[in-house]
């Protein structure tokens, strides 16, 4: 299958997801970018805006194995990664895989559990393996974490550690939909759709695992001119110099933006990234990497506003 055909089948993924998820086109695009760029995605929104449904629908359309972890205050690290379990018949302690051993891991309400358990995902997300008692256990390929979280002002939530936030390629926000979209959601439920069962929406697999891996290879091959790379560097440095920012974007954040821009360029039919691709990905890739200064926060300045200002200030290569 050539690159054009591969892009076409990934375009069909969007149509399949739309059978279950009404609206939220930006979040759907961001999730696809995450898979293609081999990154992980945070989905933030109030309960009930289809965060979990989006993840399940995407996995179903890509025929990828998926597992779900409901993060709770009493969840232990071994509940995520797996552990050694005594086998009385052999007198040994074989490793029993946890739910992290899958293609798509849905980490539901990740900020409902304490930092110790949140950090159990770190090695898996970064190294794509789990280490238990000195033994390394590789995770399946592809491996993608989609973590949903409630806004921090909700009761019973914990702030995600900065080290863990940095492991996520993107942070996507899912808002309450407009009235017409909300009506369409209700119409579908009135017609028999059950959110717990994505098959009730008629989603069928249109991409298989080998095609996902092939698309990831194609994305890595998307070209980047030196002037566009310099543009990314200048944007990152501008965040560090912004007066309303306490901690700006790191070099790892710059490489994350490059990876996302490559995926978006490939999805839109381009063979090389342009400033437009960089600009389209900048806010979702960097919004969770900035630390806004306390005085700016008190004035209501958020990371998104700072990043939009940076985009206006930095010269765009021609």
Q: Which of 40-49, 116-125, 202-211, 254-263 is the most confident on average? A: 254-263
The 8-class DSSP code of residue 315 comes to P
CATH architecture of 3-191: 3-Layer(aba) Sandwich (3.40)
The angle at the Cα of 152, spanning 23 to 59, to the nearest 5 degrees, equals 40
In this chain, the answer to whether the domains covering 3-191 and 219-313 adopt an identical fold is no
Q: What is the pLDDT of residues 32-87, one digit of tens each?
A: 999 999 999 999 888 888 888 899 999 999 999 999 999 888 898 889 988 878 77
Res. 2 pLDDT band, cuts 50 70 90? low
Contacts of 83 (CB under 8 A, 6+ apart): 95, 96, 98, 132
- Judged against a pLDDT cut of 80, whether residue 103 lies above it is answered with yes
Q: What is the pLDDT of residues 284-305, one digit of tens each?
A: 999 999 988 888 877 878 888 9
Contacts of 303 (CB under 8 A, 6+ apart): 286, 287, 288, 290, 292
Give me the mean pLDDT over the 108-113 stretch.
86
Give me the mean pLDDT over the 246-265 stretch.
95
The mean predicted confidence, pLDDT, of the chain is 88
pLDDT of residue 19: 87
pLDDT of residue 156: 61
Partnered with residue 178 across adjacent β-strands are none
Whole-angstrom distance, CA of residue 104 vs CA of residue 44: 18
The angle at the Cα of 90, spanning 88 to 95, to the nearest 5 degrees, equals 85
Whole-angstrom distance, CA of residue 161 vs CA of residue 2: 42
Rounded to an integer, what is the distance from CA 220 to the centroid of its chain? Answer: 18
Contacts of 11 (CB under 8 A, 6+ apart): none
Helix, strand, coil fractions of the chain, as percent rounded to 5: 45, 15, 40
* In contact, 291 and 247? CB cutoff 8 Å: yes
CATH number corresponding to 219-313: 1.10.8.80
pLDDT of residue 280: 97
- Judged against a pLDDT cut of 90, whether residue 118 lies above it is answered with no
Nearest CA among 217, 50, 51 for reference residue 41: 51
Give residue limits of the domains in the chain.
3-191, 219-313
CB burial of 231-254 (b: ≥16 within 10 Å; e: otherwise) equals bbebbbebbeebebbeebbeeebb
Res. 165 pLDDT band, cuts 50 70 90? confident
pLDDT of residue 4: 66
* In contact, 317 and 231? CB cutoff 8 Å: yes
Q: What is the DSSP string of 151-162?
A: -TTSTT--PPPH
């Amino acid at each position: 299958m050539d690159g054009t055909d591969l892009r076409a089948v990934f375009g069909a993924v969007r149509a399949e997801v739309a059978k279950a998820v009404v609206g939220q086109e930006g979040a759907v695009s961001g999730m696809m970018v995450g898979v293609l760029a081999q990154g992980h995605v945070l989905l933030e929104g109030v309960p009930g805006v289809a965060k979990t449904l989006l993840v399940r629908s995407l996995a179903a359309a890509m025929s990828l194995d998926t597992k779900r972890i409901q993060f709770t205050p009493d969840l232990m690290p071994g509940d995520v990664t797996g552990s050694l379990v005594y086998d009385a018949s052999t007198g040994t302690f074989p490793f029993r895989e946890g739910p992290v051993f899958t293609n798509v891991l849905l980490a539901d309400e990740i900020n409902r559990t304490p930092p110790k358990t949140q950090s159990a995902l770190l090695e898996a997300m970064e190294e794509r393996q789990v280490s238990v008692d000195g033994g390394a256990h590789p995770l399946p390929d592809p491996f993608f974490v989609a973590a949903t979280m409630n806004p921090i002002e909700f009761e019973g939530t914990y702030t995600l550690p900065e080290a863990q936030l940095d492991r996520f390629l993107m942070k996507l926000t899912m808002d309450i939909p407009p009235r017409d979209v909300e009506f369409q959601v209700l119409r579908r439920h009135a017609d028999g759709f059950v959110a717990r069962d994505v098959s009730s929406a008629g989603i069928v697999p249109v991409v298989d695992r080998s095609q996902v891996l092939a698309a990831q290879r194609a994305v890595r091959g998307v070209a980047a001119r030196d002037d566009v790379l310099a543009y990314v560097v200048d944007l990152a440095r501008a965040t560090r110099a912004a007066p309303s920012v306490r901690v700006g974007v790191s070099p790892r954040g710059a490489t994350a933006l490059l990876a996302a821009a490559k995926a978006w360029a490939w999805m839109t039919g381009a063979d090389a990234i342009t400033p437009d691709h960089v600009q389209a990905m900048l806010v979702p890739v960097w919004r969770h990497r900035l630390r806004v200064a306390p005085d700016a926060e008190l004035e209501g300045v958020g990371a998104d506003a700072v990043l939009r200002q940076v985009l206006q200030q930095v010269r765009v290569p021609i």
